[in-house]
Amino acid sequence: MSRHLLAGFTLVLPLWSWAANPAQQDFTRIMALKPNADSGAVFFEQCASCHGADGGGHTSGSIPRIAGQHYKVLVRQIVDFRHGARWDVRMEGVATSHYVIPELQDIADVALYVSQLDPDGARGMGDGEYVQRGAGLYGSLCASCHGQNAEGDDKKGIPRLAGQHSGYLARQIYDAVDKRRPALARTHGKHFAPLDYQDVLGLTDFLARIGWSESAPATR
């Protein structure tokens, strides 16, 4: 093989590998489907036992709030669990079950339904001691992608962080640093690694409180 042909092949190979990735193939197929929220509501009944009927998760952070999360983000996470690109024994079992979520259309349907649920509700928060520190960190490290109000971006597949339980967010940060979430480690690891304990408390507490009214339910 000539040097020019070899160089051309090398340039094409990463694109071909990315396109051939089974998770990416499923994600692309799902995004081309027309989701049905009514059908998704039926499938969500099997998710509600953990995430709650309102999709609010658990204020301890053991289960995340998924209500109101962007459609594209939800699809990506389910597909990643389905193909072992993200790890959690509970979600892996659900995402790979042909009884719970048999078809790609079902993923689209349940993701649409969840994305339309009210994102507000009880939220797990810290004691507020490091909130101001967290606000500064968010502004310098996160806001340029996740938005000034941590609203995320559906078109870009950037998750909404506002109102997420602080305990869950903290666990994701440490999982990324320890490479238990490989994809997150690649994109966020350099930002998370220098954070100390108080930084993580402040950042996650700040995010959990966005949009919260003191009259609304909360768990500290």
- Residue 185 φ/ψ, nearest 5 degrees: -60, -40
Among 147, 128, 143, 121, CA closest to 205: 128
Is the same domain home to 42 and 114? yes
> Is 220 part of a structural domain of the chain?
yes
Joined tokens for residue 129: 């001691």
Joined tokens for residue 22: 């089974």
pLDDT in tens, the chain (220 residues): 444 443 443 444 444 444 458 989 999 999 999 999 999 999 999 899 999 999 999 999 999 999 999 999 999 999 999 888 888 877 777 766 655 678 999 999 999 999 999 998 899 999 999 999 999 999 999 999 999 999 999 999 999 999 999 999 999 999 999 999 988 999 999 999 999 999 999 999 999 999 876 555 565 4
Range of the domain at 89: 23-119
Q: Distance between CA atoms of 67 and 64, rounded to whole angstroms?
A: 9
* Number of structural domains the chain divides into: 2
